[in-house]
Amino acid sequence: MKRPKISIVVPVYKAERFLQCCVDSILAQTFEDFELLLVDDGSPDGSGAICDAYAAKDARVRVFHVTNGGANKARALGVSESAGSEYVTFVDSDDSLPHTALQDLYALTGEEYDIIIGNYDRNPKQYADGEMDKFGLVKQIYAYNIAPSPYAKLFRRKLFDEKTFDLPRDFVVGEDFIMNLRLAFACKGKIRIVPTVVYHYNDNAEGIMNTFNYTLDYLGRSYHFKKSVIPEPYRERCMPYCIANVLMMNHVIVGHYYYHKTREKTQLHLQVVADIHNYGYRGQWWERFALRFSNPLFSRLYLGIRALMLWMKRMKRRLT
């Protein structure tokens, strides 16, 4: 059997409403040298049967039925089964691809590039055409200037190893972030960024990103993984990016003191302050200033100011 140039991995769970649109958009691609790996993640609806029907009609489709283990594990299985391909890309089962998405991405591949990153249609930060090294990509991922999502990207297959998807099952928001960082650090070549829209993102109101509620404990776990993923030789250079990332969630840390009516500093608070000192983080003054609000009264003031600023931003967007 001829080895495909691209393996497309689609985790499938409770996707009955969207799956046909997703798969049809993939099979209709102008670039045809690919395999489609549908990983039925123990879906309780009719998704598994839909996957099997497509596999019966198109030889490029392979289906795997597994016990529910989460999207991260499903992607890991898909990648492990794609050993013969040159590149790997991911599509979520409630999204779809523009007609020329694979062609647009593959046209930019070359020996010098390990990752090709395209745009998606609901991206609030539209990309400019260019290239960067691994450190540039890591910095932009931590800053959310490049979406830390699995989709709209073409990854060289050899970047993946047994640690790429190594995360606990209950870490369900942020696993894509860690995967992207691990693949970025694994790069030997350059990364190409293009403004071309190669992905149609469906903002599913029932999706976990729209229903998940961050807690202080979960933020602490997330910060731990985002720190530990940095290889030791790159720690001094990349930890400031990681610190800036966690400070974007200052309201979760500060809110702890208001909601729990306590002055006792949390372990996460102490760790972030220690890291700011140890790694010489500068950043913006208001990022560091917020960590001083370690009591209920000042925490309420901080959260009130933050709510006002968010409201003003929303009003500005509506007027423009």
Q: Give the percent of the chain with pLDDT over 70.
A: 97
Contacts of 291 (CB under 8 A, 6+ apart): 250, 253, 254, 269, 272, 273
Would you say residue 9 has pLDDT above 90?
A: yes
Q: Which of 280, 193, 183 is nearest to 231 (CA)?
A: 183
Domain end (from 210, 237, 267): 210
Instruction: State mean pLDDT over 46-56.
Output: 97
Q: Any idea which of 32-41, 48-57, 161-170, 197-206 has the lowest mean pLDDT?
A: 197-206
Instruction: State mean pLDDT over 253-269.
Output: 93
pLDDT band with cut points at 50, 70 and 90 for residue 126:
confident
Q: Give the domain extent around 230.
A: 213-319
Contacts of 79 (CB under 8 A, 6+ apart): 7, 9, 88, 157, 160, 164, 165
Please check whether residue 1 lies inside any domain of the structure.
no
Instruction: State mean pLDDT over 142-153.
Output: 95
For residues 175 and 236, membership in a common domain is answered with no
For residues 162 and 258, membership in a common domain is answered with no
Domain end (from 187, 210, 233): 210
**Counted domains in the chain:** 2
Would you say residue 292 has pLDDT above 90?
A: no
pTM: 0.92
For residues 112 and 248, membership in a common domain is answered with no
For residues 138 and 251, membership in a common domain is answered with no
pLDDT band with cut points at 50, 70 and 90 for residue 320:
low
For residues 110 and 195, membership in a common domain is answered with yes
For residues 197 and 308, membership in a common domain is answered with no
Would you say residue 141 has pLDDT above 80?
A: yes
For residues 169 and 260, membership in a common domain is answered with no
CATH number, residue 146: 3.90.550.10
For residues 150 and 229, membership in a common domain is answered with no
Neighbouring C-alpha atoms within 13 Å toward the C-beta of 15: 28
Please check whether residue 198 lies inside any domain of the structure.
yes
For residues 98 and 13, membership in a common domain is answered with yes
Q: Under a CB-based contact definition with an 8 Å cutoff, are residues 52 and 38 in contact?
A: no
Domain end (from 156, 179, 210): 210
For residues 217 and 197, membership in a common domain is answered with no
For residues 297 and 172, membership in a common domain is answered with no
